[in-house]
Structure formats: C-alpha cells, structure tokens
A and B are shown apart, each in its own frame.
Chain A
Amino acid sequence: ETGVTQTPRHLVMGMTNKKSLKCEQHLGHNAMYWYKQSAKKPLELMFVYSLEERVENNSVPSRFSPECPNSSHLFLHLHTLQPEDSALYLCASSQDQGPTAQFFGPGTRLTVL
C-alpha cells in the first residue's frame, strides 16, 4: 500500500448505528487530518492530530469521535448520526503541522438514512 488509504470506501448507516472509518498513511508523516466534503461547499476541517495528540477540534458535534492510536493510523467513530452528516469524509496527512502540503486519501462516501 502506498500513500493514504481509507476504509471503507462506501458506508450506508442508519441514524442509530455505530460505525468507524479508518485511515492509514504510509508516508512517514506525523500529522493527520479529518475533513468533511459536502456538495458545493469547501472542504471542512474536522480534526487535526500531531504526533498522536489532538491539536484542533473544529467545533465538530460529539457524535463524531476521532482516535489516533499512532502516527500512521486515524479513526473516526460515528454514532447517532443525522442525514445531514452524509458526505465524503477525507483523511489527509502531512510531514509537520506547518505549511507543508497535505496528502489526501480517496475518502469514504457516507450515507446516513
């Protein structure tokens, strides 16, 4: 595997389900990010992790819960989501938190029924 991988690629869940999104980066980076991408809207930064510590939580509802067990893996735990949470969830990584380019995974297309 190379770059940033995400699983699953597609997820359909009910509002009462609990599911998790997984991200893995194979680039040796030390910062990881979760973004939400909705139609016709800019990418929304959700969480930033640097060296496995959360450094930013961008006013995200508590029904989204991130976890970063090490610098290569990032999870997004989902529970009691709403239909408006349906979107493409993108994971990214970068070498440092600073002004370096971020590299994105292919995303998980989430549909909440």
Chain B
Amino acid sequence: EVQLVESGGGLVQPGGSLRLSCAASGFTVSSNYMSWVRQAPGKGLEWVSVIYSGGTTYYADSVKGRFTISRDNSKNTLYLQVDSLRPEDSAVYFCARDTYTSGRYAHEYWGQGTLVTVSS
C-alpha cells in the first residue's frame, strides 16, 4: 500500500527556514516522479516543485531560488528545504507521488500534509 507521511512543519519567523520531510512506504521514491503542492488556509492548490526519477527538478517561480527539493534513497524520503520564508508561504504542504502512464500525468497519491506558518 502506498503511504506518504509529511512532517517538519511549524511556526517560523519571516526569513527563517524549515526542512519538510515526506516518508514514503509501499514504493521506492527514487524510481518515481515526486511533487510538492501547497494550499494556503482557505485557498486553492498551488504546485511548488517536482523531482523526476532521473533527478531533474523544477520549481514554481514563486519559490525558485528559495526552496530545494531532494530525496534520500536510503531513507526512502522526499524533502523540501524551504528558506527565506515569507508570510505568503504559509500553507499546508502536501507531497505527492506522480503517475506518468501512457503519456498521461497526474499527482496520483497524496500525503495528509504538514502546516507551515510564517509569522513574527
């Protein structure tokens, strides 16, 4: 069974940093495309970043240069290092295992999310 469990969120001051983790089970993170998606309180969904199985990474313009996606194969865990945080980064951060089947793409499996609050 595919499971994704996020952790690492919390309250941080503007300009601060956090490392979000997404522990996976039931599949191998390094063999899959993995994404982070966030949702500000009461708002819609915003894609943040993706890491492909080959290691290529992409970011939303709003986080480029401040956030870094990575993975630890030995721990089967996905990470999102979030630096230079701004109040507008406050959101629930979801990790997702993506599917790319017969040329079709989607975020197939989702974790329950971890809340990041940026406030002084």
A binds B: no
Interface residues of A (CB under 8 A from B): none
Interface residues of B (CB under 8 A from A): none
